[in-house]
Structure 1
């Protein structure tokens, strides 16, 4: 791809010593508005409506929306997402006349999306190598005709996480009526380890913490998540807790500014003060990549040791035995595992000292209400499921699930990625009310398990997948094995993308390729019954209404529900009793349909979803009801401490690569080349290294190195070349660089056991000086 970001004159790398938020955040937003020509735009009115009861829900992260929002209830990355969607630039038919697809494949991610909003439906013409306009009716007819020539089990229906609950429910119905259970989504790439691990531990696939719990908590864990970049609005409840003196204990391989200092842009006095804002972490431990499983085991082990001592001395017990006896199973076996596990192995695997873990254990034992937040630093490892369950074990020891001010809090990524699962986007038949759908719509749903993201990639590579329908996203860029997936993609019979902006996945032309532009969430969506509301679910399982008011960028755009309905009518019309046209005319009728399919979660859906703060789904674990097979919360011992077994990483010649996002991106969307919070400006082609490792390797800051995949699977992969070395505070043997540029180094087989989440936080690589260096 074109490497325009490697303009030597624009590269500036220096430590960032300022707080997260503050003036740096405001300057970044203003800079992005200027770059998009939107300083005087009405988009500022959109931002004032963002994440408010009568407004639009942010298209960026999925963090909770408060009942009483701030005047400006948006963060730096949320503002960037809004500016990016509402840009003045247009990627219209004229653009595609000027550029061939072959030429565009040489552009980088930033330049592709910066071309602007797509304006009309397009079809790829292999004879001219151009995308060319096509009418909506012809596109739908051709797509339906092609789908009906294919075996349904060979077709992938992917959902990115952006689409509303209404669209998502319609989309999964389309797939299942067609006969496909292949409904992978963004969860497969990030929090599937949560969705697999939590149900066995507490009977819920989602967390138990609400915003209000942060006001009552005594202690907070923050593990494997960079809040400053990935969910900045979460900094507000964390800051409020810290100002009350609540300890916040962080485990993360990298020192991240968002978990060190924060100055709230919502507080004028704080912004004007000369200080560095609030100290966010009371304790910050740089656990080695994958070391969280061992660290959590060490904390739990010392909690048990303290309890044993209290028992022997007749003191107050540390473990909440009343809770354990009434609500849990497997405790004795778990205790046996802790007693058998040695401190030497815990220290080796975690990279931390015993004294540090003992300190945290004592602190934890002294608090009554504890929240544990975590992100993909836990889930994207080979044993991500076991690590999620180990965190549950620690909370269960002291009854910290199912009470106010306590609980487990997986911090999800993309807006509504959690909600899509709630309404049927899943490849797992046991997670979907198939019998209810059969009854409601008079069709026979497929019953076999469908393909998840990893299995979809495997099918694209081996040729068993024949078609791909994408509801948003940049699938090929987000997944492992980028080069192999892209090469095989051209052999698909059908490739359809429902999108707002151009990205690299759209340029992978198959035998028939369609680009279908849709309204964005901030766009006014007018249908037969009037202007429409949609709904989304946030990371705390609250359902919110969202109302777009911005004029659409083109009168040729269709809404996502409309596009899904028209594909359905062209493909499965008459095969089930689904009132597609009625639903498109009034989305309230889709919400009624969701309520019928999921009555426990969505009772009185239309009456409740627009209220301030939304309404909470029925998460039984919040009230200590355990929807597990045995009706109990379960202690589950991991059976070992290595979070990434079968990975040949010696941390001397083979390093552990942690892939991460910059401050100037969200998922695969790159807003620019300034990772302000890490002090890396003007480039994304970098590798962060421990200074001791640099000295041992004989490289200095600014030197160029190549990263070679070191997966022991016999597959040759191209190295990622000419990465600039950046000294950074991270454990010896670990290195870090940006997703998605380094995804090609991740072996498709290198995924979490049970959940199949690509293990992007523990990629074995070799670092070699570039030949040009």
Structure 2
């Protein structure tokens, strides 16, 4: 409650905030914007966590960022402000245009903004533009945004998933045929064991702690592998239980908690697989499942048996005994769920780790049945849904034939640019324009300093946003700031009040109904803004009805249903049912839409996913989020779950590594990139902070340490920036 109270005092939210919180994640209410965890059909009295409350109070702040604010502050001045202070200016209230002569944003009418943006887009090669989407936009907005891009002539639909869970989308798709997890919320009530890798629900998805607590209390055994001992996975006190809060009782979550070195999860899983395969001469293997549903097992068995325990122990920093304890839990459980987060996906060979996790679950048939399966935990609300309805740079993942039939045009088939490729295009000068549907792209991406310099050479930058952030201050030659409604605000169009919908990380589709009074009479919905730009850019066409779609979002859902009939049948009715409706998942039914037609057992190249070798003086850097932030949004400076207060300029390092490096607590140091590409990257002014970490690694906050991550340092298959194992050195 302390964190929520702090934000409430800071934001002085509108009177609508309490009603929004009362309805948050409930039937007839608003889908929370803070994470993608599912909402149950049977809800609690309070169905939100600290993060959800903070996000809601942040959206419904009484602070306003008006034209007068911009008249008083130049863009150059605002670039010196912190991320926290920029957003403290409050909700954006008017459409604005950057005026280079005065170095200030000036107010502009909506129609003028649309006309000028449309004119600029008409003058550009569509292949030179990027249409980026953050994870919060609704399914309806996302569908129209993707349609606009393809009508305009490109597939350059970079997405926030490119920066976090694209490794899941590509890696799982390759081995199971499904780009998403296979579990439902009900599976968490039936599993016997849960294996966690690289995910921190206490900070990133606290509502997940409720089913974990219930699972632990009924005897489910939870095993966690994470380089950091996160409190949420150690124990949990239920804030909705008066007895626990008053008596100080807590539920132990993880029965076993191990701290492997970052990037060593492949080796951890290899060790567990060695025990499972060897136990009782292979009698514990689900041979029927392996023979009927899998391919590649015998080659994998040989790889596992040939891998030495010495190599596994050296890579992980864990003992053979540690891994045997975990293997015993796995072998004695009939139904196992695998959970992971960005601690798995954000590595150079993160896709191999996902493959290894699938291998481990497949050994005992733990995919495609009740109480078992893969459950990646997504960060953004609806980031998974955006991919479902067409936000993808990969045209082969989109039903272009149906789009051709419905809208009578030839969709582009040239593969688009994902985030890393878009950044490379900006540096080379190939990319000339960027439209951002939410988010803080410039701050979120790697290689910050090089990217900010390249960004200003673009011809056009357009930001659809709710609050001021740094991306709005690094402008192209023509720059526009277009304010939109937040999800919790009433969206009233010509057809009356509108409803939007979201997909959670378990493929459930939910309605979301905003009722709060908008922060300004000048705000437009995201759909209205996209439609306005599209109408000003594209020639009229009978099949393209932007005004009708803006007036009635139900008609957009009809289009989604027509484009994806197998997943969205009876969409407009089913989205209101408690708990949402399941859009389907072939892998859950043991239908493998892979190249082989089976679940593919894969073999990793090596035992770590870092993509670089250890060397004297080189550390593996992990970037982290505090419990007082959401992605690049910094609510405050209290990371109380880790005991860090008042600052984000810290270098977390184990006492043993401090002593070896001759460092003392509080000493200010710099981190420099140790990538072997000849480019100097440095972040200074970091206070040495003793912390419980494995050997050979350090940690610090995202996005402050993003300048240390080379653009080239990304997952080899999915191009997700490898932010959880960055090669660095410490300079005192």
Q: Give the TM bin, normalised by the shorter chain.
A: over 0.9
1:264 is the counterpart of 2:238: yes
- The corresponding residue for 2:278 is 305
Deviation of the 1:42 alpha carbon: 3.2
The structure 1 segments of at least 4 consecutive aligned residues displaced by more than 4 Å after TM superposition are: none
- The corresponding residue for 2:695 is 732
- The separation in 1 between residues aligned to 2:539 and 2:69, in whole angstroms, is 35
- The corresponding residue for 1:682 is 646
- The corresponding residue for 1:707 is 671
User: Match for 2:52 among 69, 73, 78?
Assistant: 78
Aligned partner of residue 76 in structure 2, secondary structure: helix
Partners of 1:112 and 1:503 within 8 A in 2: yes
- The corresponding residue for 1:36 is 11
Matches within 5 A, 1:332-351: 332-351=298-317
- The separation in 2 between residues aligned to 1:391 and 1:307, in whole angstroms, is 22
- The separation in 2 between residues aligned to 1:352 and 1:274, in whole angstroms, is 33
- The corresponding residue for 1:4 is none
- The separation in 1 between residues aligned to 2:679 and 2:161, in whole angstroms, is 27
1:419 is the counterpart of 2:392: no
Deviation of the 1:346 alpha carbon: 1.1
User: Match for 1:445 among 405, 411, 423?
Assistant: 411
Partners of 2:672 and 2:680 within 8 A in 1: no
Partners of 1:648 and 1:764 within 8 A in 2: no
- The separation in 1 between residues aligned to 2:623 and 2:655, in whole angstroms, is 19
Deviation sequence 1:714-744 (CA, Å, 0-9, x none): 1122x11110111111101110000000000
- The corresponding residue for 1:145 is 119
Deviation sequence 1:331-369 (CA, Å, 0-9, x none): 111111111111111111122111111221122011100
Partners of 1:177 and 1:575 within 8 A in 2: no
Partners of 2:16 and 2:517 within 8 A in 1: no
User: Match for 2:433 among 463, 467, 470?
Assistant: 467
User: Match for 1:656 among 614, 620, 643?
Assistant: 620
- The separation in 2 between residues aligned to 1:750 and 1:223, in whole angstroms, is 21
Deviation of the 1:199 alpha carbon: 1.3
Deviation sequence 1:242-274 (CA, Å, 0-9, x none): 111211000000111111111011111111113
1:319 is the counterpart of 2:285: yes
- The corresponding residue for 2:574 is 608
- The separation in 1 between residues aligned to 2:215 and 2:539, in whole angstroms, is 54
Aligned partner of residue 381 in structure 1, secondary structure: coil
- The separation in 1 between residues aligned to 2:497 and 2:137, in whole angstroms, is 17
Deviation of the 1:630 alpha carbon: 2.1
Deviation sequence 1:729-767 (CA, Å, 0-9, x none): 110111000000000000000001111000000011111
Deviation of the 1:576 alpha carbon: 7.0
Matches within 5 A, 1:553-632: 553-574=519-540, 577-632=543-598
**Farther off after superposition, 502-511 or 356-365:** 356-365
Report the number of matched residues. Answer: 732
Deviation of the 1:443 alpha carbon: 1.1
- The separation in 2 between residues aligned to 1:135 and 1:626, in whole angstroms, is 52
- The separation in 2 between residues aligned to 1:140 and 1:78, in whole angstroms, is 33
Partners of 1:182 and 1:451 within 8 A in 2: yes
1:766 is the counterpart of 2:729: yes
Partners of 1:463 and 1:491 within 8 A in 2: yes
1:124 is the counterpart of 2:98: yes
**Farther off after superposition, 672-681 or 626-635:** 626-635
Structure 2 residue ranges without an equivalent (≥5): none
Partners of 1:386 and 1:638 within 8 A in 2: yes
Partners of 2:265 and 2:608 within 8 A in 1: no
- The separation in 1 between residues aligned to 2:15 and 2:191, in whole angstroms, is 41
1:110 is the counterpart of 2:84: yes
1:241 is the counterpart of 2:204: no
Aligned partner of residue 731 in structure 2, secondary structure: strand
- The separation in 2 between residues aligned to 1:348 and 1:570, in whole angstroms, is 60
Deviation of the 1:426 alpha carbon: 0.5
- The corresponding residue for 1:159 is 133
Partners of 1:648 and 1:712 within 8 A in 2: no
- The corresponding residue for 1:373 is 339
- The corresponding residue for 2:489 is 523
Task: Please provide the CA RMSD for this pair.
Answer: 1.0
- The separation in 2 between residues aligned to 1:200 and 1:150, in whole angstroms, is 36
Deviation sequence 1:582-631 (CA, Å, 0-9, x none): 11110000000000001111111111001100001110111111111222
- The separation in 1 between residues aligned to 2:658 and 2:59, in whole angstroms, is 40
- The separation in 2 between residues aligned to 1:479 and 1:538, in whole angstroms, is 24
Deviation of the 1:307 alpha carbon: 4.4
1:757 is the counterpart of 2:720: yes
- The separation in 1 between residues aligned to 2:515 and 2:539, in whole angstroms, is 32
- The corresponding residue for 2:457 is 491
- The corresponding residue for 2:109 is 135
Partners of 1:157 and 1:182 within 8 A in 2: yes
- The corresponding residue for 1:6 is none
Aligned partner of residue 323 in structure 2, secondary structure: helix
Partners of 2:352 and 2:604 within 8 A in 1: yes
1:355 is the counterpart of 2:321: yes
Partners of 1:544 and 1:615 within 8 A in 2: yes
- The corresponding residue for 1:673 is 637
Partners of 1:472 and 1:498 within 8 A in 2: yes
TM-score, with normalisation over the residues of structure 2?
A: 0.99
Partners of 1:443 and 1:575 within 8 A in 2: no
